């Protein structure tokens, strides 16, 4: 399931993130890639352990925490601290699948990467190329979103970033370990949650249909969740 969430970061917070990143050094992005992915990766990143990454990442994490659409789509158990990348002219990331296991900085705890996330920090008019292209069972999807918008999709998907031919594309990226490991089950729960919100808006919270649907949602979540 691929979900586009508009306006995760409002314009003032996009500008704040950009200002923080502009004052930082950038390093070769291959430092955070596995052996195979490193051969396909040509971009720049903010150092993972830097104060800049922590400060800008805090803005992103607070935005995620207050966004009900993100919670509904991902059902997060663990979120890896956000990373930040940059693609200048000629840079790209060829087709790859993200690594299955990630290590949480500081604690050494390992997490399973169920969901990949890309938060765009540059408006599409400011660069050419740089499309995020994701392949799944329903075909190939090309994604290029306004600054502040985020897309989440299964980490099992083959994906790439097309070469930049003009300008520069900045983004935040990170992974989520979901309470629901299986993407098909997550999709069912997301669709059910969306339907529940529509029914509640039309009928109210106390109508029998609203209560019954909410009960089914929580009982499925109780049956499938991994804690």
Q: In a 3-state reduction of DSSP, which class is residue 13?
A: helix
Q: How confident is the model at residue 40 (pLDDT cuts 50, 70, 90)?
A: confident
Is residue 98 within 8 Å of 113, Cβ to Cβ? yes
Q: How confident is the model at residue 25 (pLDDT cuts 50, 70, 90)?
A: very high
Q: How confident is the model at residue 37 (pLDDT cuts 50, 70, 90)?
A: low
What is the pLDDT at residue 33? 67
Q: How confident is the model at residue 213 (pLDDT cuts 50, 70, 90)?
A: very high
Q: How confident is the model at residue 34 (pLDDT cuts 50, 70, 90)?
A: low
Task: Give mean pLDDT, residues 151-157.
Answer: 97
Task: Give mean pLDDT, residues 65-73.
Answer: 98
Residues 6+ apart with CB under 8 A from 95: 40, 135, 158, 159, 160
Q: Is the pLDDT of residue 100 over 80?
A: yes
pLDDT in tens, 130-150: 999 999 887 899 999 999 999
Q: How confident is the model at residue 193 (pLDDT cuts 50, 70, 90)?
A: very high
What sign does the dihedral 82-83-89-95 (CA atoms) show? Answer: negative
Task: Give mean pLDDT, residues 151-177.
Answer: 98
Is residue 140 within 8 Å of 186, Cβ to Cβ? no
Q: Report H helices in 27-144.
A: 35-38, 51-65, 68-74
Q: How confident is the model at residue 15 (pLDDT cuts 50, 70, 90)?
A: very high
Q: How confident is the model at residue 31 (pLDDT cuts 50, 70, 90)?
A: confident
Percent of the chain with pLDDT over 90: 85
Backbone angles phi, psi at 132, to 5 degrees: -85, 120
Residues 6+ apart with CB under 8 A from 135: 95, 141, 157, 158, 159
């Amino acid at each position: 399931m691929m979900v586009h969430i508009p306006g995760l970061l409002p314009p003032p917070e996009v500008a704040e993130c950009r200002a923080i990143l502009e004052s930082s050094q950038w390093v070769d992005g291959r430092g955070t890639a596995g052996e195979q992915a490193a051969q396909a990766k040509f971009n720049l990143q903010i150092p993972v352990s830097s104060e800049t990454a922590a400060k800008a990442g805090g803005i992103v994490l607070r935005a995620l925490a207050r966004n009900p659409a993100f919670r509904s789509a991902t059902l997060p158990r663990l979120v890896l601290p956000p990373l930040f990348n940059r693609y200048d002219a000629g840079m790209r990331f060829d087709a790859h699948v993200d690594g299955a296991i990630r290590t949480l900085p500081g604690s050494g705890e390992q997490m399973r990467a169920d969901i990949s996330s890309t938060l765009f920090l540059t408006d599409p008019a400011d660069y050419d190329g740089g499309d995020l292209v994701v392949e799944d069972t329903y075909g190939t999807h090309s994604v290029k979103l306004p600054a502040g918008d985020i897309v989440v999709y299964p980490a099992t998907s083959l994906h790439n970033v097309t070469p930049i031919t003009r300008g520069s594309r900045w983004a935040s990226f990170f992974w989520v370990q979901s309470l629901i490991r299986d993407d098909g089950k997550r999709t069912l729960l997301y669709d059910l949650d969306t339907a529940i919100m529509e029914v509640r808006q039309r009928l109210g919270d106390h109508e029998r249909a609203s209560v019954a649907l909410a009960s089914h949602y929580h009982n499925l979540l109780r049956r499938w969740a991994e804690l």
